[in-house]
Structure 1
Amino acid sequence: MSHLAVVKLRAAFPALRESGDKKPFIYFDGPGGTQMAQQSIDGMMAYITGGMANLHGAFPTSVSTDNLLLEGRKAVADLLHCAPEEVAFGQNMTTLAFSVARSLGSFISSDDEVVVTEMDHRANVDPWVTLAKDKGATVRFIELNTDTYTLNLDKLDELITEKTKLVAVGMSSNVTGTVTDVKRVIARAKEVNAIVVLDAVHAVPHLPIDFQELGCDILFCSTYKFFGPHIGIAVIAASLFEKLQVYKLAPAPQQIPDKLETGTQNHEAIAGLIGAITFIEQLGEGDSRRARLKSGMQRIEEHEQELTARMDSFLRQVPGLKLYRAAEGTYKTPTFAFTLPGIKAREVSSWFAEHYNMCIADGHFYASTMADKLGVNPMGGWVRIGLAPYNTMEEVELFEQGLQEFIRTRVRQ
């Protein structure tokens, strides 16, 4: 992406604009949530100021809200290449996952096994572990290779067996950035007719996603990770969705996807979701929204990879710094986790906030099993840099300057 294109892209984010003498923050916390695009803000404000209403009424604003949900499903369907009726909205990925897990109760018995991973965010672990516990089923883990920061997929045939009824795996780690070969996991799971759940929360902001091509059964993501408001998305293959015994109010709709959407939805957030997807679409080219979205995501990825190469090269050369990132040749998102010897992670992030106006995250980021295995919790977890398409090479260079200054300051002390 050219310099002018990045400048134009950044103009779509009000949070990045200077206000008087106040400089905007430099946001390196994309994995924790991106800034909101103007199109998303406009969509929310248009709905709020145009007259809000609940669903299924005869009056115009209610009809408009009905249409809003339909358009939201179509927009997500084009982004992820699924059917609109396979798209359900909810409070967030975690809440939706627990709801779906509860609905899968009739599919699991005490003789069955559930497979999760040691790398994943707990939102794609605990709902399924809880389900297994409730049904008396056995939980098995795909292990983390602590040397390569990848999952050990060599023992899939032993882990995923005829007893396996559900396999949950993340598409990309929100800590190390590792993009897992989920197609390999899905292929093995389908050999034994297991349900496959993908956590795509960290993948959707960086990678073109094709639900149909992947062949999974359930996929979760969240709009606040790709330039919109806080709202969760569940994509569930219609063949499975129809069978789910969802916990719901008796008069609520029985058809998909409505039956999973308990209570009144966050309609203004759905309007913002449409705006966020429109922002991505406007970055691309093509004869259809799906084509423009794929093109837009490819441009985002290309730009982020340019920044990633510079950041990766720099961090690997800092004396004493331990970078938790897979080697060259492993597909990764622009996400970097590191520790510095003898220094708490919060000390680093606080220093950058104070001295460089940079938003840098620290902690275990709910990848707590991986944090335990890698022994980072005594230091307050990792320091994490997460890039987004509105980040620039100048910001990366400024971070390099800041980290070198921080280390010099610490040495003098």
Structure 2
Amino acid sequence: MPYDVAAVRAHFPALREGAAHFDGPGGSQTPDVVAEAVARTLTSAVANRGAVTPAERRADRIVHDARSAMGDLLGVVPEGVVFGRSATELTFMVARTLAQGWGPGDEVVVTRLDHDANVRPWVIAAEHAGAAVTLADFEPLTGELPGVDIAHVVSERTRLVAVTGASNLIGTRPDLCGLAEIAHAVGAQLYVDGVHSTAHVFTDVEASGADFWVCSPYKFLGPHLGVLGARPETLEALRPEKLKPATDTVPERFELGTLPYELLAGTTAAVDFLAGLAPSDSGASRRERLASSYAALEEHEDELLAWLEPRIRALPGVRVYSNARRRTPTLLFTSDRLPPQAIRAALAEVGVNAPAGNFYAWETSHHLGLGAEGGVRVGLAPYTDQSDVERLVAGLTDVLG
């Protein structure tokens, strides 16, 4: 059965405002079931987690449900799911914690393909520990991150390799399995920023070889918070800073303060919504339904991208920087006729939301020669339809053609 984008769009109240949204990489629109789950939790009796009162039990159930949902989404056990305020905050926490065991002579590898949230936390942690940092390049013309380049910069002193699951700026999807083999061969761990990838690609943390995988539900139809997935035994080896009376149990030892129950309820609803994007067998598990849904979603987004991309590339004076063989449905481009922010503003005038900038992919943008200005970024989402991409092309044709 084909992907029913009309049925999907019916769940997004924000679309009734009339804009065509290509700003999903910065944060997706929210389906009604997610908003209802958040509101229902806020208007129900909740308390600190416990087993005595109904309010305590409700809070405890919400947390367990969210861990189970994110475990299904990422392919990890619920005991390996950590919640935090954002992916950036979680990465800073893991970096500080891991750096407790680093010292002079140790090395960390980061890449120019990454969002700064998977670069700066490691640079800062390494500096505090006296460890060295190597910044691995990607090929600017193709957008590829060759594994051989990573292999040349790791050594027996490398403690960690940090890499993106997919570039939030140009969409490149590196070979994570290959990079994991390179990192593990020298005894290093692999930390993957899956914030952009998780919204578009079926995730299997174990199969990817990642030791840590961080993501943000608000990129895949959920509320604003961060999630870290790892093996429980990997988390057991870490001793994060925490309050003295706080539990030492994994994964709770990494969660500072009371969790935002309403956001966790919304996260569970978002995962369930994703699991229902495509028909599946009635007896299928949520993990199996997610696999089917992501397969349908990728096919839908690929079809739209196949129609859209050549038309953008054909516009006079336009240069597209998203050229990797494997990538998400994300296009970054510039024009020799107008600066990125002027294009953004002109599109907004006709109800097309396509933001411009470097989107915190600081190293990526500079390595492409775009500096802090960056380019115009077009991102597809589960609710994007053919009329949206036609409106985008029409708007760009009027502005640049």
Contact 2:67 2:78 in 1 (8 A): yes
Letter in 2 for 1:32: G
Contact 1:39 1:278 in 2 (8 A): no
Alignment partners' CA distance in 2, 1:152 and 1:211:
21
- Identify which of 212, 219, 232 aligns with 1:218: 212
Contact 1:30 1:225 in 2 (8 A): yes
Contact 2:21 2:388 in 1 (8 A): no
1:311 Cα deviation from its structure 2 partner: 1.4
Alignment partners' CA distance in 2, 1:209 and 1:152:
21
Find out whether 1:141 has 2:135 as its counterpart: yes
Find out whether 1:407 has 2:400 as its counterpart: yes
- Identify which of 219, 224, 239 aligns with 1:245: 239
Correspondence for 1:113: 107
Alignment partners' CA distance in 1, 2:328 and 2:185:
29
In the alignment, structure 2 segments of 5+ residues that lack a partner are: none
Find out whether 1:43 has 2:37 as its counterpart: yes
Contact 2:63 2:261 in 1 (8 A): yes
Alignment partners' CA distance in 2, 1:204 and 1:170:
11
1:215 Cα deviation from its structure 2 partner: 2.2
Q: What's the secondary structure of 1:108's corresponding residue?
A: coil
Alignment partners' CA distance in 2, 1:239 and 1:272:
28
- Identify which of 391, 394, 401 aligns with 1:398: 391
More off after superposition, 103-112 vs 304-313: 103-112
Contact 1:172 1:333 in 2 (8 A): yes
Contact 1:119 1:370 in 2 (8 A): yes
Find out whether 1:6 has 2:5 as its counterpart: yes
Correspondence for 2:342: 347
Letter in 2 for 1:359: N
1:153 Cα deviation from its structure 2 partner: 2.3
1:377 Cα deviation from its structure 2 partner: 2.8
Contact 2:115 2:362 in 1 (8 A): yes
- Identify which of 287, 296, 299 aligns with 1:299: 296
Correspondence for 2:309: 312
Correspondence for 1:202: 196
Letter in 1 for 2:289: R
1:106 Cα deviation from its structure 2 partner: 2.6
Q: What's the secondary structure of 1:265's corresponding residue?
A: coil
* Matches for 1:13-24 after TM superposition, within 5 Å: 13-17=12-16, 23-24=17-18
Count, aligned residues: 398
Q: What's the secondary structure of 2:148's corresponding residue?
A: coil
Contact 1:229 1:272 in 2 (8 A): yes
Correspondence for 1:411: none
More off after superposition, 104-113 vs 254-263: 104-113
1:187 Cα deviation from its structure 2 partner: 0.5
**What CA deviation, in whole Å up to 9, does each residue of 1:167-212 have, x standing for no partner?**
0000101111111111111011111110110000000110000112
* Matches for 1:66-81 after TM superposition, within 5 Å: 66-81=60-75
Correspondence for 2:20: 26
Correspondence for 1:382: 375
**What CA deviation, in whole Å up to 9, does each residue of 1:123-173 have, x standing for no partner?**
011111111101111101221211111113223332111110000000101
1:342 Cα deviation from its structure 2 partner: 4.6
**What CA deviation, in whole Å up to 9, does each residue of 1:318-373 have, x standing for no partner?**
1210100115xx1111100000115221111111111x111111110111111112
Alignment partners' CA distance in 1, 2:196 and 2:30:
16
- Identify which of 163, 173, 176 aligns with 1:169: 163
Correspondence for 1:333: 328
Alignment partners' CA distance in 2, 1:78 and 1:326:
31
**What CA deviation, in whole Å up to 9, does each residue of 1:52-86 have, x standing for no partner?**
32223621111110111011000011111101000
Q: What's the secondary structure of 1:12's corresponding residue?
A: coil
Letter in 1 for 2:88: T
Alignment partners' CA distance in 2, 1:403 and 1:228:
30
Contact 1:142 1:153 in 2 (8 A): no
**What CA deviation, in whole Å up to 9, does each residue of 1:276-308 have, x standing for no partner?**
001011123141111001111111111000011
Letter in 2 for 1:297: Y
1:238 Cα deviation from its structure 2 partner: 1.6
Alignment partners' CA distance in 1, 2:8 and 2:18:
16
Two-structure CA RMSD over aligned residues (Å)? 1.3
1:314 Cα deviation from its structure 2 partner: 1.0
1:2 Cα deviation from its structure 2 partner: 4.1
Alignment partners' CA distance in 2, 1:242 and 1:377:
41
1:224 Cα deviation from its structure 2 partner: 0.2
* Matches for 1:178-189 after TM superposition, within 5 Å: 178-189=172-183
Alignment partners' CA distance in 2, 1:302 and 1:226:
17
Identity of aligned residues (%): 37
Q: What's the secondary structure of 1:166's corresponding residue?
A: strand
Alignment partners' CA distance in 1, 2:48 and 2:33:
23
Contact 2:183 2:189 in 1 (8 A): yes
